């Protein structure tokens, strides 16, 4: 096995929980196990990555304490072809990625990292970012920024308006040479840096990271309104 993927599902999804009605928020499971279109976010994401021909194995990274129940909660057959044994994640995204990397077979040379909270990713997009990573060493899906972006200063006043023509909103999967990603995680840990995605951490090491045009439907589920949007989009896709 030379090309594999990690699907990150260890986060609680606190912003989503806060956006739900109070009774629902108190009883809701971790975000990746919430259902949209009759399936959990994790099940949708795993299915999309398993359908990408270049991937030889897909590993779920689940919340601490969930190894014995993640499959039932997600509605996933743990022995399905191409599905690697799950591993527990950590408190931070970087901890979860590191745990997944440590559990991969030693033959894996390239790895894709995907957020389970992006359940509408298309297998074709997965294949495109993997192809770019195999050629360039690192790549990520992204959409051009359409809105004007302002940066505020410490007093809350507009400080800068960057040119949006070269701004990209990052998506996942993001795919890398395994040795580059390990180097990036080690450097971030040594420098006390917490990144919001893996592409930025790899770029900090001086490695080129290729931008691959993504898909507007590959939207991250962050709030309750995103769940409703995903339901509508899945219904349209099914029709």
The CATH number linked to 114 is 3.90.550.10
Measure Cα distances from 222 to 44, 120, 123, 226, 233 in Å: 16, 13, 22, 6, 16
Residue 204 pLDDT > 50: yes
Least confident window among 19-33, 42-56, 73-87 = 19-33
Please give the Cα distance from 210 to 202 (Å, whole number).
11
What is the domain count for the chain? 1
CA-closest candidate to residue 46, choices 109, 123, 103: 123
Alpha-helical runs (H) found in the chain: 14-19, 22-27, 41-50, 70-74, 93-103, 123-136, 178-191, 198-204, 224-238
Q: Yes or no: say if 7 and 49 are a contact pair by the CB < 8 Å rule.
A: yes
Least confident window among 114-123, 175-184, 201-210, 220-229 = 220-229
Residue 16 half-sphere exposure toward CB, CA atoms < 13 A: 21
Instruction: Tell me the residue range of the domain where 152 lies.
Output: 3-238
What pLDDT shows up at residue 188? Answer: 97
Least confident window among 22-26, 44-48, 235-239 = 22-26
Torsion-angle region of 192 (φ positive above 0: left; ψ -120 to 50: alpha; else: beta): left
Sign of dihedral through CA atoms 31, 144, 141, 184? negative
Residue 58 pLDDT > 70: yes
- At 22, is the pLDDT very low, low, confident or very high (cuts 50, 70, 90)? low
What pLDDT shows up at residue 29? Answer: 85
Query: Which residues are CB-contacts of 121 (< 8 A; sequence separation ≥ 6)?
Result: 45, 48, 49, 114, 141, 171, 172, 173, 215, 218
In sequence order, what are the beta bridge partners of 175? Answer: 112, 139
- At 24, is the pLDDT very low, low, confident or very high (cuts 50, 70, 90)? low
- At 11, is the pLDDT very low, low, confident or very high (cuts 50, 70, 90)? confident
Percent of the chain with pLDDT over 70: 95
Query: Which residues are CB-contacts of 128 (< 8 A; sequence separation ≥ 6)?
Result: 141, 212
Least confident window among 24-28, 31-35, 59-63, 223-227 = 24-28
What pLDDT shows up at residue 239? Answer: 42
Residue 182 half-sphere exposure toward CB, CA atoms < 13 A: 14
Q: Which residue has the higher pLDDT, 70 or 28?
A: 70
pTM of the predicted model as reported, rounded to 2 decimal places: 0.93
In sequence order, what are the beta bridge partners of 196? Answer: none
């Amino acid at each position: 096995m030379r090309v594999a993927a990690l699907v990150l599902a260890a986060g609680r999804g606190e912003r989503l929980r806060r956006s739900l009605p109070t009774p629902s928020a108190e009883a809701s499971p971790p975000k990746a196990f919430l259902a949209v279109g009759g399936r959990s976010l994790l099940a949708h994401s795993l299915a999309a990555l398993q359908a990408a021909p270049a991937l030889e194995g897909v590993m779920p990274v689940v919340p601490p304490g969930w190894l014995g129940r993640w499959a039932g909660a997600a509605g996933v057959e743990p022995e399905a072809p191409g599905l690697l044994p799950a591993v527990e994640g950590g408190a931070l995204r970087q901890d979860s990625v590191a745990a997944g990397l440590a559990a991969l077979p030693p033959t894996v040379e390239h790895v894709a990292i995907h957020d389970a909270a992006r359940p509408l990713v298309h297998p074709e997009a997965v294949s495109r970012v993997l192809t770019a990573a195999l050629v360039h060493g690192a790549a990520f899906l992204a959409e051009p920024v359409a809105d004007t972006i302002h940066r505020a200063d410490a007093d809350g006043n507009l400080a800068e308006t960057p040119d949006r023509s070269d701004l990209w909103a990052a998506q996942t999967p993001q795919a890398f040479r395994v040795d580059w990603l390990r180097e990036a995680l080690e450097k971030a840990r040594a420098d006390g840096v917490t990144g919001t995605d893996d592409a930025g951490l790899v770029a900090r090491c001086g490695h080129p990271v290729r931008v691959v045009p993504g898909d507007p439907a590959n939207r991250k589920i962050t709030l309750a309104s995103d769940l409703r949007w995903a339901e509508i989009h899945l219904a349209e896709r099914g029709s």
